[in-house]
């Protein structure tokens, strides 16, 4: 369902043409219907006592073909009404410019593998700053570029390109240039009227599986390939890609008979433009993995996984969620935050996602335990380790469409009945817990049966 002038996105195309790749064969056309129910959702937030709301703007809803010469006024109106409704209810806005829904018209040009998409993203950001700048508290340029470059260009997610070790690096390169360009435009032209600008990166913790030197080195290398890929160019003092990433990809590329490295190279000017291009770090963290050294021989076929030199696993005894990749490991959260503090001179961090998927139902004690455990790890990182974390966002307020998992994984504090005409929202036990947390600003010690 394309609503009120919205253009087609890569996820519209992917879910409609390849429903077999979605767990429940469904799509995000209607989902929880927040497009028409945003006032109800703001009331839920107000009732809970939250002080801010993180949401994303859809590029093809604003620019149907991705280009700034055709602005969809219905899209401008919708987001203006949402932002004004939040302001009326004293809820600040943390707005993501890009959460994976590239206009299909730009994908037809090669998507994020085409360097010109950075210029089109800059044009899009200017439209957002001009239209909503005075209503938005803080901006995030991208959500999880590691995930959408690896998933989208590794064959697993939209747009479904299967070129691991090649196009995923090209995607990341364009995204980093786009981010730096937008930040510098903000700094030079919009700082007086636009809130802070950052980027959200995802960082599961990667723990060495053993105390062996090989596994310790492999774990650090995987951290650099997964998080440092995007964090190092922005938050390090030197800028550019992590040295171990450059060294490994260059070396393996030569062994695979490439005449040039599969990892693109920034110019000196681009390194300087991207370095320091964030007022804060948005951090998504859910889980932890163990890393062992990959002792297999390098294949002639390019592969991001092979480039990292590590093999990932999780312990069977770690508590499970309803997502195969997500196990409950609170201590990894604290370790990830301390690694960031030590690597990047303790930047300001805003937790932009943390949560757990569970089966349907409103008595979600396991979700309460998850939030409580991770928040206690966060509390220790702030109080004892002096990590500069200034905010926490739970993913998510309500159940939603979870990409290739469709509606099978439920993360919401509110359960959504997708079969009801009104997409009824029902508070879970975790909503009561989170409301107490939001109002009291301290970890609740509460009877969850009251």
Token pair for 45: 């937030």
In the set 353, 402, 409, 415, the catalytic residue is 353
Output DSSP code: residue 189: I
Contact 256, 302 (CB under 8 A): yes
Residues 6+ apart with CB under 8 A from 429: 362, 363, 364, 365, 367, 368, 448
Q: Is the peptide bond before 18 cis (omega within 30 degrees of 0)?
A: no
**Would residue 353 show up in a list of annotated catalytic residues for this protein?**
yes
Output DSSP code: residue 27: -
Residues 6+ apart with CB under 8 A from 347: 235, 278, 280, 281, 340, 341, 388
Pick the closest to residue 96 from 77, 121, 114, 119 (CA basis). Answer: 121
β 205-208/281-284 pair status: unpaired
Start-to-end CA distance of the chain, whole Å, equals 42
Q: How far apart are CA 376 and CA 370, in angstroms?
A: 10
Residues 6+ apart with CB under 8 A from 160: 14, 18, 21, 152
Which residues carry out catalysis? Answer: 353
């Amino acid at each position: 369902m394309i609503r009120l002038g919205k253009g087609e996105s890569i996820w519209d195309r992917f879910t409609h043409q390849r429903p077999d790749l979605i767990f429940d064969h469904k799509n995000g056309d209607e989902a929880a219907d927040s497009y028409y129910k945003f006032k109800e959702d703001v009331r839920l937030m107000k009732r809970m006592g939250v002080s801010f709301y993180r949401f994303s703007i859809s590029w093809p809803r604003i620019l149907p073909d991705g280009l700034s010469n055709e602005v969809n006024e219905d899209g401008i109106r919708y987001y203006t009404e949402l932002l004004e409704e939040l302001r009326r209810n004293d809820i600040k806005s943390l707005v993501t410019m890009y959460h994976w829904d590239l206009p299909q018209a730009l994908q037809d040009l090669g998507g994020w593998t085409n360097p010109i998409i950075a210029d089109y993203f800059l044009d899009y950001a200017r439209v957002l700053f001009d239209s909503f700048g005075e209503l938005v508290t803080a901006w995030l340029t991208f959500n999880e570029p590691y995930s959408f470059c690896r998933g989208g260009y590794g064959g697993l997610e939209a747009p479904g390109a299967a070129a691991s070790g090649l196009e995923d690096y090209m995607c990341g390169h364009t995204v980093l240039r786009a981010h730096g360009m937008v930040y510098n435009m903000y700094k030079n032209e919009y700082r007086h009227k636009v809130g802070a600008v950052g980027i959200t990166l995802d960082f599961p913790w990667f723990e060495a599986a053993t105390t062996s030197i090989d596994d310790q080195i492999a774990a650090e290398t995987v951290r650099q390939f997964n998080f440092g890929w995007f964090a190092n160019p922005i938050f390090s003092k030197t800028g550019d890609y992590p040295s171990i990433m450059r060294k490994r990809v260059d070396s393996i590329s030569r062994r695979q008979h490439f005449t040039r490295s599969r990892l693109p190279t920034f110019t000196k000017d681009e390194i300087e433009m991207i370095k320091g291009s964030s007022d804060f770090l948005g951090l998504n963290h859910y889980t932890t993995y163990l890393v062992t050294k990959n002792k297999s021989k390098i294949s002639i076929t390019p592969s991001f996984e092979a480039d990292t030199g590590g093999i990932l696993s999780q312990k069977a005894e770690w508590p499970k969620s309803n997502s195969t990749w997500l196990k409950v490991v609170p201590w990894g959260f604290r370790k990830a935050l301390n690694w960031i503090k030590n690597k990047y001179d303790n930047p300001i961090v805003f937790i932009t996602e943390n949560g757990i998927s569970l089966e349907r139902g409103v008595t979600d004690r396991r979700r309460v335990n998850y939030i409580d455990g991770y928040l206690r790890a966060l509390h220790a990182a702030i109080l004892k380790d002096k990590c500069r974390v200034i905010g926490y966002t739970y993913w998510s307020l309500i159940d939603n469409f979870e990409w290739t998992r469709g509606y099978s994984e439920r993360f919401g504090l509110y359960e959504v009945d997708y079969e009801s005409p009104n997409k009824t929202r029902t508070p879970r036990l975790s909503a009561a817990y989170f409301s107490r947390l939001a109002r009291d600003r301290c970890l609740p010690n509460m009877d969850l049966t009251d």
